[in-house]
Amino acid sequence: MYRVNDIFYSLQGEGFWTGTPMVFLRLAGCNLRCPFCDTDFSASREMTAPEIIEALDAAHPSLPGSRRICITGGEPALQLDAPLIEALHQANYTIHLETNGTRPIPAGIDWVTISPKEDFCLSGPAKGDGHPRADVVLPHADELKLVYTGGNDPEKWLSFPARHFFLQPCDPGEICPADGGDFRPSESVDTVSATLRYILSHPRWRLSLQTHKILGIA
């Protein structure tokens, strides 16, 4: 059984595949707690792999080129396993995964996006110094998408084995007010302008925007 937060059909709003129709499978739960998290995990339902496939098929039209699924969360690697990957491939889905990179993932995923949270996660298994652990353990990815607050250092990630590097401005308006913590961007910081300036002077990075929020879609 898998704990599912939501299944819906929309456009990918971020990163390399921005604007591409996909069906989204949002799995509940996360091993980290970030100050800008905008996902509510309070509601979830348990589903089997066949039930997930049935819901995915019902969520979007059977059109050529539309059988892409983005598995996200939370942290989907907490639940994602080989049987679900196999079931999705048997149903002819191309599988995209969005992960914080702190957990191993099963083989067979067609596109892996890592969004590292080492700079600002608020909870998780403690390191020896008592601070949260959000270390990336995955050895490579197709795409690395880093949230930029204007204060964290993107350059350390350019040595990570990824094919594409995206910088995405943090949205201070999405900060969870109950989280607390000492690393949260101020609402007075224009993170979009800061991100643009950074990319213009560090051109290995490309801009990622949350276009689904701009458009007002899921």
Whether residue 154 contacts residue 195, with contact meaning beta carbons closer than 8 Å, is answered with no
From 6, 8, 34, 86, the catalytic residue: 34
Instruction: Say if CB 107 and CB 122 are below 8 A apart.
Output: no
Instruction: Give the C-alpha separation, 54 to 189, whole Å.
Output: 44
Q: Which of 14, 30, 118, 191 is catalytic?
A: 30
24 is catalytic: yes
Q: Do residues 143 and 18 make contact, with C-beta atoms less than 8 angstroms apart?
A: no
| Max CA pair span of the chain | 52
- Of residues 6, 16, 39, 165, which has the active-site annotation? 39
Q: How far apart are CA 91 and CA 21, in angstroms?
A: 17
Q: Which of 8, 48, 75, 98 is catalytic?
A: 98
Tokens at 21, concatenated: 């129709």
121 is catalytic: no
Catalytic residue among 51, 135, 183, 212: 212
37, 70, 121, 170: the active-site residue: 37
Question: Whole-angstrom Cα distance, residue 169 to residue 58?
Answer: 34
Q: Under DSSP, is residue 43 helix (H, G, I), strand (E, B) or coil?
A: coil
Concerning whether 30 is annotated as a catalytic residue, the answer is: yes
Compute the Cα dihedral for 105, 29, 168, 7 and give only its sign: positive
Alpha-carbon Rg for the chain in angstroms: 17
The question of whether 34 is a catalytic residue gets the answer yes
Helix crossing, 82-90 with 49-59: angle to 10°?
Answer: 40
Residue whose entry in the numeric block shows the structure tokens 């059109």 = 63
Residues tagged active-site:
24, 30, 34, 37-39, 98, 212
